[in-house]
Amino acid sequence: MVILFITVLYQGIGQELPVKVDNGNAPLRSLLHVELQKKLEKVISNNPGWNSLAKKKKMAVGLVDLSDINNIKFARVNGNEMMYAASLPKIAVLLAAIDAIDKGELKETPEVKSDMYLMISKSNNQATTRMIDRIGYRRIERVLTSDKYNLYDEETGGGLWVGKRYAAGGPTHREPLKNLSHAATVTQVCRFYYLLFQGKLVNEKRSKQMLDIMKDPSLHHKFVSVMDQIAPKAKIFRKSGTWKTYHSDSMLVWGNADRKYILVALVDDSNGERIIRDLVKPIEKILNIN
């Protein structure tokens, strides 16, 4: 077995992640911004294909503008629409694992470190299944539904969920609203990154560890393929997913003064990967990124 250790220093225009935010205790939903919301809705409605998918609840987009960290802006289309998200919810396995490690309930062995990296950076299903087997569905559920995170909430459409191994066979523990095995809403994934960039997932030390694992993904498709072209020096923290017609991607972008944002997309369409790639440039345009 090859063991991989990742140590990275994050800096973005003099700022190191995680960062302190003046109104960091504000719930993300309270930061909905009318003007940004109108712009995001216009991006979707101006494309007939995207508009049709959004109306059918087969496309959801979440956006958080972090260019002024003391005036964070949030917008979403179908924000609370829970969809099958393939490998994107592996971030929930990562959070549950790091929480267990921090509490001394999971030993942070070289094998565990390697599997967490492989699970996120390379989206390796075997490594993910080993992590799920180590921590169990119930722990994942407890973390996601805890008052501290509330990343799965039946009152707001659900959210992040992992209730099936990424392998054939074995027991399942599907979420209660739609009976999905691997689920997400764009709002809850945005919240995950919103808490992470402030160091509020587990604690600051463990958030840094998660950022280490999520930085510089090995898979350069969807969002990342575009960022490679337009902002190759920007730091990208990311997790995506694909299964049949279900395509998902999520990223925290930490670049120059203007290029700081969270973008999440869930698409149920055979052309989903192209749709997700094509989202990036119009999103950066409404954020006034040159």
Alpha helices in 22-124 (DSSP H): 34-45, 48-55, 90-102, 110-121
**Would the pLDDT of 43 be above 60?**
yes
pLDDT at 8 over 50: no
Query: 56-77: per-residue pLDDT in tens?
Result: 999 999 999 999 999 999 999 9
Q: Is the CB of residue 103 less than 8 Å from the CB of residue 79?
A: no
- Note the pLDDT of residue 12: 38
Considering the chain, what is the average pLDDT of its residues?
94
How far apart CA 286 and CA 67 sit, in angstroms, is 12
User: DSSP letters of 168-198?
Assistant: SSS-----TTT--SEEE-HHHHHHHHHHHHT
Pull the structure tokens for residue 187. Answer: 């709002």
Rounded to whole angstroms, the Cα distance separating 146 from 124 reads 27
User: Using CA atoms, how far apart are residues 196 and 203, in angstroms rounded to an integer?
Assistant: 9
Task: Pick the more confident residue, 167 or 5.
Answer: 167
Confidence bin at 224 (pLDDT 50/70/90): very high
Mean per-residue pLDDT for 168-186?
Answer: 97
**Section 277-284 average pLDDT:** 98
Q: Model confidence at 23, in pLDDT bands (50, 70, 90)? A: confident
| Rounded average pLDDT over 161-188 | 97
Average pLDDT estimate for 173-189 = 98
Match 């739609």 to its residue by tokens: 178
Task: With CA atoms as reference, report the closest residue to 72 among 60, 64, 84, 61.
Answer: 64
Whether pLDDT at 7 is above 70:
no
Better-predicted residue by pLDDT, 165 or 12: 165
pLDDT attached to residue 22: 87
Confidence label for 11 from pLDDT (cuts 50, 70 and 90): very low
Predicted confidence (pLDDT) per residue in 83-116, tens digit = 999 999 999 999 999 999 999 999 999 999 999 9
Q: Cα separation of 179 and 289, whole Å? A: 40
Looking at residue 6, its pLDDT comes to: 34
Q: Measuring CA to CA, which residue among 259, 254, 229, 271 is closest to residue 8?
A: 254
Structural domains in the chain, sorted by start: 28-286 (3.40.710.10)
Virtual CA dihedral for 74, 75, 76, 82, nearest 10 degrees? Answer: 10
Residue 72's SS3 state is coil
The mean pLDDT of 153-177, rounded to a whole number, is 97
